[in-house]
Amino acid sequence: MKLSRPVSWFLLAFGVWSWVIWVTFVKNLIKDSSGLAFDDGHPTAYFWVHLLLAVVSFVLGTVVGGIGLRGVRALRRTS
pTM of the entire structure? 0.84
Evaluate whether 62 touches 15 at the Cβ level (below 8 Å): yes
40 secondary structure, DSSP code = T
**37 vs 11, 29, 43, 51, 54, CA distance in Å?**
32, 7, 6, 10, 14
Query: In this predicted model, what pLDDT tens digit does every residue of 38-70 receive, in sequence order?
Result: 998 899 999 999 999 999 999 999 999 999 999
Delimit the domains of the chain by residue range: 5-77
Across all residues in the chain, what is the average pLDDT? Answer: 94
